[in-house]
Amino acid sequence: MATYNGQKFIREQLDSLAAQQHLPSELIITDDASSDKTVVIAEQFAKTAPFPVYVHRHVHRLGYRANFMRAASLCTSDVIAFCDQDDVWSPQKLALCIEPFQDPAVLLAHHNAEVVTEAGERLGSLDHLASAPMTPPLSLCPIRQMGAPLGFTEVFRRSILAFSSLWEMSLDYNDFTAPMAHDQWVFFIASVFGRIVYIDKELASYRQHGSNLFGWNGPSNLLSSVTYLLDNPTSSLDALQQSAERCAEILQKTRWNLTDVWHQRATMGAARYRFLADLYSARKRLYTSASFAARVKAFYRIASTSGYRPKWRWGLGRQALVRDLCLGLPAGHLL
């Protein structure tokens, strides 16, 4: 659990951890220099908790990314769950999330959740982030605007932390000035090297309040889909291209320290991310080239390499094809 000025909701979250059917073996709390009573509440909980609680307080703020990464690094269990300070877990959460790890090939599990108001009233769910019940290595790509599952829904093997020394090399395509968020990073590594399990049960209440670092946008509707199709994607394509290139570099760098099947997956993953970066580069030219011939060439580059295949097959998808045919190819540089 990474905390920062969370006194308003943290006790309810902590109580939901103590009510788990499968109790955690430990709780690591790293506090990012809170100025309220967050640490006091955590330390009071630690005195009566039915499992060991270790509270680490930072003198200077690290930011939520590094704070979560440090919290994970301090864990000693084989399986780790990210925990936000302001949600509430279902009593079944850990019991159901630990089951998939009986399969040694599973590196990460994530689940659905209900979205609630500050007072606990239901707003919706995270159904739009659902994936197949089981996905094999290299079948998912987190370098998308949708991104990775939200961190509080992720449970993962501690072996993923062996790659943490390369985390600062990564790039967050939503905030290009920083490395990947903790949940993006863990999902990226897991998606390359192991199986990912999705549990279609609402195992937590995702609380929305005025101080959320990131809030709930809900599933897309007709208006948002039309806006997406009409929007010029150039700036996002640049971020996605560079993020994909950096993923390829990370996998290329780490593969020499791996053996057998993990070496093979790192090699294949690096190639796929380079291919994706090339697609983003070609698509960027489609929207920035003043020459119609250059735009045709960029479009042909994407289409001839099956670049518009579905996203789950490492393509750009049908919406990209429609947008590029209707907007990019005719007059992309004018958008």
Each residue's pLDDT, cut to its tens digit, for the chain (335 residues) gives: 999 999 999 999 999 999 999 999 999 999 999 999 999 999 999 999 999 999 999 999 999 999 999 999 999 999 999 999 999 999 999 999 999 999 999 999 999 999 999 888 999 999 988 889 999 999 988 886 555 799 999 999 999 999 999 999 999 888 888 999 999 999 999 999 999 999 999 999 999 976 655 555 555 555 555 555 556 677 788 889 999 999 999 999 998 888 899 999 999 999 999 999 999 999 999 999 999 999 999 999 999 999 999 888 899 999 899 989 988 888 766 66
Say yes or no: 202 and 226 in one domain: no
Number of folded domains that form the chain: 2
Q: Which residues pair with 196 in a beta bridge?
A: 108, 135
Say yes or no: 9 and 88 in one domain: yes
Which parts of the chain fold into alpha helices (H)? 10-18, 38-48, 64-73, 93-98, 182-193, 222-230, 234-254, 260-288, 292-304, 318-323, 329-331
- What pLDDT score was predicted for residue 251? 97
Helix (H/G/I), strand (E/B), else coil: 27: strand
Residue 217 domain flag? no
Maximum separation of any 2 CA atoms in the chain, in Å: 71
Residue 95 domain flag? yes
Residue 215 domain flag? no
Say yes or no: 128 and 29 in one domain: yes
Single residue among 151, 181, 207 that ends a domain in this structure: 207
Single residue among 177, 207, 237 that ends a domain in this structure: 207
Q: Which residues pair with 206 in a beta bridge?
A: 115
Say yes or no: 6 and 114 in one domain: yes
Residue 319 domain flag? yes
Q: State which residues form the domain around 139.
A: 2-207
- What pLDDT score was predicted for residue 143? 82
- What pLDDT score was predicted for residue 233? 75
Residue 214 domain flag? no
CA nearest neighbour of 182 among 67, 61, 55: 67
- What pLDDT score was predicted for residue 148? 74
- What pLDDT score was predicted for residue 222? 54
Say yes or no: 184 and 117 in one domain: yes
- What pLDDT score was predicted for residue 279? 96
Single residue among 150, 177, 207 that ends a domain in this structure: 207
Contact yes or no for 152/206 (Cβ under 8 A): yes
